[in-house]
Amino acid sequence: MQTTQREINLFSDTVTLPTDEMREAMRNAACGDDVAGEDPTVNRLEEMAAARLGKEAALFVASGTMGNLVSMMTHCVRGDEAILEAESHIYYYEVGGMSAIAGVIPRLVRGFRGIMDPDDVRRAIREPNIHYPRTRVICVENTHNRGGGTVTPIPVMEEICRIAREHGLATHLDGARIFNAAVALSVDPREIARPFDSVMFCLSKGLSAPVGSLICGSRDFIERARKNRKLLGGGMRQAGVIAAAGIVALEKMVDRLHVDHENARLLAEGLSRINGIRVDLESVQTNMVYVDVSGLGFDTESFIRELARRGVKASGRPPYHVRMVTHRHISRENILEVLDIIKEIAASGPGP
């Protein structure tokens, strides 16, 4: 059995560590009371984020989950309904906060690789009726995690947002990995953000900052969102020490994301050539690879255990899929090593 000198961690791009430049920026950050709007480093990060996405203002929050929840609370009142893709992160991975805390009811639309058909979105909008919740916001996720890191094309987003405007609805983009989407589409991220009323993106995934996400939107929206952040306990006082890393992330880490995409493609194509492994190559558009291992006789957990024994960490999507995510700590050489390890696992089989 092959062994590795260190763990190759493909669990998620959330495992990325801050760069030395980030750590130095954090040590030297100018700070103030952010709840009072007096932290100069947070203020600078928010201004940068708004400019990068072409919005009037931005709000620094602790996480993407908090950013999506604050956005839902700001767009909706309790009992309103939100249209979301059926396997969206907001619905699937955020502990039901949209309903438990914001009081918002999900109305799900089944997409293809996470991409909703605008006609299906139109059909999901409620007509006024005393028996129904009021449809209030349409949410899009780009890139789409459970779709495989897939990218929603700009014309599809524009059509969904046009439909929303026709019906007087708000729009929110869960753009946790919006910069990955922009790299894949070869566009400025402002083109992706432009038709949406609000956008959330994360600093702590492929951009490698240790903490934090941003919500971007109009000044009025962000002013109301700031109060909802406070309601959730999200006022972080001298938050400049973590905002400083976010500034470095925006300045230095976006331009290298294409390397992660190239490594994911290398991994996916290599895996597709191993007998018993199935990979939907068309879904490998950014930095995620979903692998079906059922043809090897493994289920998700048993395959992940075999990877772990050989020093590779991945995440699962039971019963038979494994997810691998590339990021700045994963090199081309790591990918080739992982391919050799998986070939070995495939040859040995699941055992008795």
Write the single-letter amino acid at 183: V
Residue partners of 186: CB distance under 8 A and separation at least 6:
none
For residue 1, pLDDT over 50 is answered with: no
User: With bands split at pLDDT 50, 70 and 90, how would you rate the model's confidence at 6?
Assistant: confident
Buried b or exposed e, range 314-341, using 16+ CB within 10 angstroms: bebeeebbbbbbbbbbbeeebbebbbeb
CB contact at 8 A, 151 and 178: no
CATH number for the domain spanning 155: value is 3.40.640.10
Q: Mind listing the pLDDT tens digit for each residue in 173-229? A: 999 999 999 999 999 999 999 999 999 999 999 999 999 999 999 999 999 999 999
245 and 263 co-located in one domain: no
Q: Which residue has the tokens 């999200």?
A: 234
271 and 294 co-located in one domain: yes
Element (H, E) at 200: strand 198-202
211 and 278 co-located in one domain: no
132 is in which domain, residue-wise? 20-252
CB contact at 8 A, 39 and 241: no
Assess if residue 3 is contained within a domain.
no
Q: Mind listing the pLDDT tens digit for each residue in 148-157? A: 999 999 999 9
SS3 per-residue string spanning 201-228: EECCCCCCCCCCEEEEECHHHHHHHHHH
C-alpha–C-alpha distance, residues 27 and 181, integer Å: 31
176 and 61 co-located in one domain: yes
Assess if residue 1 is contained within a domain.
no
CB contact at 8 A, 346 and 274: yes
Assess if residue 86 is contained within a domain.
yes
271 and 183 co-located in one domain: no
Element (H, E) at 312: strand 312-313
C-alpha–C-alpha distance, residues 18 and 220, integer Å: 33
Residue partners of 147: CB distance under 8 A and separation at least 6:
87, 111, 113, 114, 115, 141, 283
248 and 260 co-located in one domain: no
User: Given 252, 286, 302, which residue is the final one in a domain?
Assistant: 252
95 and 222 co-located in one domain: yes
Q: Specify the pLDDT at position 36.
A: 96
CATH number for the domain spanning 287: value is 3.90.1150.10
65 and 111 co-located in one domain: yes
Q: Specify the pLDDT at position 2.
A: 41
Q: Which residues pair with 217 in a beta bridge?
A: 57, 198
Q: What is the mean pLDDT of residues 320-336?
A: 98
Assess if residue 2 is contained within a domain.
no
DSSP state of 316: E
Assess if residue 90 is contained within a domain.
yes
User: Given 252, 275, 302, which residue is the final one in a domain?
Assistant: 252
Q: Which residues pair with 201 in a beta bridge?
A: 214
Q: Mind listing the pLDDT tens digit for each residue in 306-315? A: 999 999 999 9
C-alpha–C-alpha distance, residues 281 and 258, integer Å: 17
65 and 206 co-located in one domain: yes
CB contact at 8 A, 49 and 216: yes
C-alpha–C-alpha distance, residues 258 and 274, integer Å: 25
In the numeric block, which tokens belong to residue 159?
A: 């059509």
In total, the chain counts a number of residues equal to 352
87 and 236 co-located in one domain: yes
Q: Mind listing the pLDDT tens digit for each residue in 104-128? A: 999 999 999 999 999 999 999 999 9
In the numeric block, which tokens belong to residue 256?
A: 């290298």
Q: Specify the pLDDT at position 349.
A: 84
196 and 302 co-located in one domain: no
Residue partners of 127: CB distance under 8 A and separation at least 6:
none
Domain count across the chain: 2
User: Given 252, 282, 301, which residue is the final one in a domain?
Assistant: 252
Assess if residue 313 is contained within a domain.
yes
In the numeric block, which tokens belong to residue 313?
A: 């960490």
* Nearest partner of 322 among 345, 349, 299, 300, judged by Cα: 300
Assess if residue 125 is contained within a domain.
yes
Assess if residue 226 is contained within a domain.
yes
231 and 263 co-located in one domain: no
